[in-house]
Amino acid sequence: MTEAPGLTPSQTAGPYLSIGLLRELVPTALVAPDDPGAVRIHGRLLDGAGDPVTDGMVEIWQADEEGRYGDEAFPGFGRAGTQDDGRFAFVTVKPGRVAWPDGGLQAPHLAVGVFARGLLKRVVTRIYFPDEEDANAVDPVLSALTAEQRATLVAVPDDGGLRFDIHLQGHAETTFFAV
Amino acid sequence: MSVGERRLPVVDDATRAGVDPPNDHHDYVGTRLRAPKQPLVILPGTETELTGPAYGESAVEANDADLTRQHAGEPLGQRIVLEGRVLGSDGKPLRGQLIEIWQANAAGRYRHAVDTHDAPLDPSFSGAGRCLTDDEGRYRFVTIKPGIYPWQNHPNAWRPAHIHFSLFGRAFTERLITQMYFPDDPLFPFDPIYNSVRDEAARARLVSAFDIELTEPDWALGFRWDIVLGGREATPLEEHHDD
């Protein structure tokens, strides 16, 4: 067969995704909470009315602290279901910087995928770190966005660690990416 | 304060090769407050997007791929064998791919607190499965045909029978969650989720085919469904095998 096969289209994960996906296989804690580099990243998944999305799932994909992807000691992939208040939480480490295709380095970031009833396909965003001001200032993604867009992508320090709310719609809609 | 002169391109919606549904599909009421409305910023394929998680044999246990053998008793319903291949957009088989599935029982009820459909739960059916593709990209599940169930999207709304599939592909860009349907379902014309895929040929790729060769005499009906994974356009970084 010479012709490339057509892609399989996306469909919504629906309200019952936890049956198949929120099992023991994929953790919310990528490192132990007492790991020296452990950081807790939590937030809420909110719809266009500001109401919590209680049946969603957030996935993160990230490099290790040295900027390496898929290292055996640190798989770098996590999943969290959203709870009754829309809340999700991960324990992980801040990744190292990784290259930008045209040269230079990206600021530390996590790739984020969100699935839920009402989303016919995954929506994708990134989490950046507030204590990386210098790296963020020259990051090829952040520096190509408006200040309002940038603000949606940088987590906010709070006493629980870092907070990153995801607004699917509305005046504070999170900046989403096509990948 | 100042914004760099260089901007990343944007696109109104991200639809891989024209096959994915739009975010905003008004007939599916659930999209109205959830589908993002702002244009999407196009990321070039950086290492973040062109790598992805990989799972090995340890991710799968005995009976994960046979949903009829996860309890002491057998579930009620039409026993089926579901087989197919996972391919890259270049047509090459993707080996060692973790597939996760979930589904309703034969009566159309999910084992989930949110599902209040007035149909019986089956104590012998959890409705979750996993498997890894083999060296030819092949997967195989044994399960029961899921029932059709009502939902509240519009008056007299019923979902066509379907099984949810989750796959990773070779990269973050190729991650896919979708639904597999059964041939000739009478509810296709009425289902806004199925019809959210605008391209007719792409929509047809969501539907499995009955396969008499796969059908096991006196035991189970066979259905075949291939899955093709790919990102918007970027090519994943070379696959790493740890075996």
Domains of chain A: 17-167 (2.60.130.10)
Cβ-based contacts of B231 with chain A (< 8 Å): 179
The answer to whether residue B198 is domain-embedded is yes
For chain B, how many structural domains are there in total? 1
* Mutation choice for B interface testing from A11, A23, A54, A100 by most B CBs within 10 A: A11
Write out the DSSP string of B76-140. Answer: SS-EEEEEEEEEETTS-B-TT-EEEEE---TTS--SSTT---SS---TT---EEEEE--TTSEEE
Annotated catalytic, B32?
Answer: no
Q: Looking at B149, B170, B181, B194, which residue is catalytic?
A: B149
Out of A34-38, A43-47, A80-84, A158-162, least confident range: A158-162
Measure the CA–CA gap between A33 and A92, rounded to whole angstroms.
Answer: 8
Q: How far apart are the CA of B215 and the nearest CA of chain A, in angstroms?
A: 24
Query: Quick check: is B223 in a domain?
Result: yes
| Whether the predicted pLDDT of B2 surpasses 60 | no
List, as one string, the DSSP characters of B200-219.
HHHHHTTB-EE-TTTPBTTT
Quick check: is B164 catalytic? yes
Confidence of residue B7 (pLDDT cuts 50, 70, 90): confident
Strands B128-132 and B157-159: unpaired
Pairing of strands B128-132, B176-181: unpaired
pLDDT greater than 50 at residue A28: yes
**Active site includes B55?**
no
Nearest CB to B172 within list A61, A100, A168: A61
- Looking at the predicted structure, is the pLDDT value of residue B243 above 70? no
Residues 21-50 of A with CB under 8 A from B: 21, 23, 25, 47-49
- Which amino acid does the sequence have at B215? T
Distances, alpha carbon B209 to alpha carbons A156, B147, B225, in Å: 50, 17, 7
Closest CA to A147 of A155, A158, A137: A137
Residue B131 C-alpha, separation from nearest chain A C-alpha, in angstroms = 12
Give me the percent of chain A exceeding a pLDDT of 70: 98
Query: What average pLDDT does the segment A21-27 reach?
Result: 93
Examine residue B188 and state whether it is found in any structural domain, yes or no.
yes
Contact (CB<8Å) A53/B34: yes
Which one of B4, B44, B112 has the shortest CB-CB distance to A16?
A: B112
Show which of residues 45-84 on chain A sit within 8 Å of chain B, judged by CB atoms: 47-49, 51, 53, 55, 59, 61-63, 69-70, 72, 75-77
In a domain, B4, yes or no: no
Partnered with residue B80 across adjacent β-strands are B143, B221
Looking at residue A100, its pLDDT comes to 96
- pLDDT over 60 at B3, yes or no: no
Rounded (5°) CA angle B97-B191-B187 = 95
Strand partners, B151: B157
What's the token pair of residue B3?
Answer: 């914004």
Q: Closest Cα to residue A93, out of A31, A158, A155?
A: A31
Write down the mean pLDDT value for chain B: 94
Question: Who has greater pLDDT, A165 or B237?
Answer: A165
- How far from B90 is each of A4, A6, B71, B83, B202, CA to CA, in Å? 6, 9, 40, 20, 17
Tell me the pLDDT tens digit for each residue of B48-58: 999 999 998 99
Q: What is the pLDDT of residues B115-168, one digit of tens each?
A: 999 999 999 999 999 999 999 999 999 999 999 999 999 999 999 999 999 999
Confidence class of residue A117 from pLDDT cuts 50, 70 and 90? very high
Residue B240 covered by a domain: no
With an 8 Å Cβ cutoff, are B232 and A179 in contact?
Answer: yes
Nearest CA-CA distance, residue A112 and chain B, Å: 10
Distance CA B194, CA B167 (A): 19
From B4, B49, B90, residue closest to A111, measured CB to CB: B49
Digit-coded pLDDT (tens) for B223-241: 999 999 999 876 677 654 4
> In angstroms, what CA-CA distances link B89 with B16, B172, B228, B235?
11, 15, 6, 10
pLDDT of B77 > 70? The answer is: yes
Q: Does the CB of A154 have a partner CB in chain B at under 8 Å?
A: no
Say what percent of chain B tops pLDDT 70: 95
Nearest chain B residue to A76 by CA: give it: B53
Tell me whether residue B162 is one of the annotated catalytic residues.
yes
The pTM assigned to this predicted structure is 0.96
- Closest to B43 (Cβ–Cβ): which among A47, A63, A177? A177
pLDDT of residue B143: 98
State ipTM.
0.96
Measured CA to CA, the distance from residue A15 to residue A18 in angstroms comes to 8
Q: Give the pLDDT score at B4.
A: 47
Q: Which of A126, A146, A109 is nearest to B4 (CA)?
A: A146
* Residue B34 domain flag: yes
For residue B104, CA distances in Å to A147, B55, B121, B213 come to 45, 26, 9, 26
Measured distance CA(B199)–CA(A122) in Å, rounded: 19
Mean pLDDT of A148-165: 95
Q: Is the pLDDT of residue A156 over 90?
A: yes
Pairwise CA distance, residues A67 & A62, whole Å: 8
Q: Which residues pair with B202 in a beta bridge?
A: none
Return the CATH number at B19. Answer: 2.60.130.10
- From the candidates B110, B139, B181, B194, give the one annotated as an active-site residue: B110
Size of interface A-B (CB pairs under 8 A): 246
For residue B190, give every residue at least 6 positions away whose Cβ sits within 8 Å of its Cβ, in sequence order, or none: B157, B158
Across the range B105-110, mean pLDDT stands at 98
- Of B215, B226, B195, nearest to B22 by C-alpha is B195
Task: Report the 10 Å Cβ neighbour count for A90.
Answer: 27
How would you class B143 by CB atoms within 10 Å of its CB: exposed for 0-12, middle for 13-18, buried for 19 or more?
buried
Do A69 and B48 make contact, defined as CB atoms within 8 angstroms? yes
In this predicted structure, the answer to whether residue A85 has a pLDDT above a threshold of 70 is yes
Give the C-alpha distances (Å, rounded to integers) separating B146 from B14, B106, B121, B143, B149. Answer: 31, 5, 12, 9, 9
Q: By the CB < 8 Å criterion, does B134 face chain A?
A: no
- CB atoms < 10 A from the CB of B12, how many? 13
Instruction: Please indicate whether, in this complex, the C-beta atoms of B129 and A20 are within 8 angstroms of each other.
Output: yes
CA B237 to chain CA centroid, nearest Å: 24
Residue B177 domain boundaries? 10-229
- Any B CB within 8 A of A107 CB: no
What average pLDDT is seen over chain A? Answer: 96
